[in-house]
Amino acid sequence: MTTLEKKLKLFPPTFQWGVASSAYQVEGAVTEDGKGPSIWDIFSHTPGKTSQGENGDIACDHYHRYSEDLSLMKNLGVTHYRFSVSWPRIFPDGRQRMNVKGLGFYGRMVDTLLSHNITPIITLYHWDLPLALQEQGGWQNRDTAHAFADYAETMVSALGDRVKQWITHNEPWCTAYLGHFSGEHAPGIKNAQAAVDAAHYVLLSHALSTMAMRATRSDAKIGITLNLSPVYPKDHSQENQKAAGLQDVFNNRWFLDPLFKGEYPDELPTIFGVNPPDIAGDMEIIRQPLDFLGINYYSAQVIAAPVRDQAPWPVVHITSKDRVTAMGWPVIPEGLSKLLVDLSTHYQDIPPFIITENGAAYEDVVEDGKIHDTERILYLSDHIAAVADAMAQDVNIQGYYLWSFMDNFEWALGYSKRFGIVHVNYSTQERTLKDSFLWYRHLIKKALS
């Protein structure tokens, strides 16, 4: 018996063993059945924004092949599937005019999942903002938060009889920082004030939508998903500890503190050189009680103070002995247990956790129709063991969702990075099970037996 198998008894029978995906990364069919354009449709078609100019026009063609894909998922034996809804499929102009066909697609998805005994969990925003709303200021416009609450209410009214768990936002850090500061993601803005404002209105939209969904269905379980990355100082020197503290604000506390303490960290203006909007009453709204916190974990960071004359943030050190994934991210499973234990100790009102994403990209090789992705299996095994280690320290963790079910469009990196446990041949759309699929299937079976 492997070390991980010995730890499986720590997972309760109600534990959610899942896989995750998002709409723009897998669906394709970007102009079909009345869908409106999103900021990613425009961004990915703008020269120079994505690797080799790739886009999500077809992606995994999941919109047309969802039935085949969900049969594979049944074969995998997962208890849960986390997917996102494309807002512009439901409201092509962002608000008001509802597209019945778009809603119909997600209704069919949900019904098919339930017929396979797989419980759906829906993310409402995984980065594909309706273009019409971007044209009115997008996440820099407070009004977008209200439009989001209306969209959330529509979704819960339509599917809330069958879908009980809802995630408002996926990784608001990426929306704010990558979308509005570094410009690597849509809408491609590069401005500190824009980033800090966008973060604020995304947080507000999370809270307003939570209230609207609860008013519509009191049985809805609602959370938000943050991408969190613990920070280790390179050594115990005062300057490196200070640098690590700043990086922790940047990576984690920028969103954790408003959600669970009702305030922004004092250091935020030091990092960005600007202040968040100071609007009376917002922070009390943002601090809504939640049913769970979704955590996406991929790696941790070792931090040293910036060298003189360098930009405000600290430098990430990866030593050559570290294992890294194809994304260049160091493999640090113990960072996950540290993160979970630290969060549950530092935030008094924090709800139970769900690991809503964890996984790794590697350079997969197809040999005689097989993919022997041993590095991915090791990565997954070590991280699931880290979840067990945190549970052994009394951390309440309700689920683990592997990212990702199948290879897909990795945003600015196009199709160059494969995170799936199902291989996708993008020329033929053929699906091939990787060894990691067979491994995860075996693990879930053992855990549930």
C-alpha distances in Å from residue 66, one per residue of 83, 124, 383, 431: 12, 19, 28, 12
Q: Which of 99, 296, 299, 358 binds ligand IFM (CB under 6 A)?
A: 296
Q: Which of 128, 197, 357, 373 binds ligand IFM (CB under 6 A)?
A: 357
Contact mark string toward ligand IFM, 161..180, x via CB under 6 A: ----------x---------
Q: Which of 379, 403, 439, 440 binds ligand IFM (CB under 6 A)?
A: 403
- Please say which residue, 282 or 410, places its beta carbon nearer to ligand IFM: 410
Binding of ligand IFM at residue 407 (CB under 6 A)? Answer: no
Instruction: Please list every residue from 114 through 133 that binds ligand IFM, using CB under 6 A.
Output: none
Identify whether 171 is a catalytic site residue.
yes
Size of the site for ligand IFM (CB under 6 A): 8
Nearest approach in angstroms of CB 20 to ligand IFM is 8
Instruction: Please list every residue from 24 through 53 that binds ligand IFM, using CB under 6 A.
Output: 25
Q: Which of 128, 257, 389, 410 binds ligand IFM (CB under 6 A)?
A: 410
- Please say which residue, 38 or 296, places its beta carbon nearer to ligand IFM: 296
Binding of ligand IFM at residue 389 (CB under 6 A)? Answer: no
Identify whether 410 is a catalytic site residue.
no
Catalytic residue among 27, 54, 153, 357: 357
Binding of ligand IFM at residue 84 (CB under 6 A)? Answer: no
Binding of ligand IFM at residue 22 (CB under 6 A)? Answer: yes
- Please say which residue, 99 or 252, places its beta carbon nearer to ligand IFM: 252
Active site residues: 171, 357
Residues that bind ligand IFM (CB under 6 A): 22, 25, 171, 296, 357, 403, 410, 419
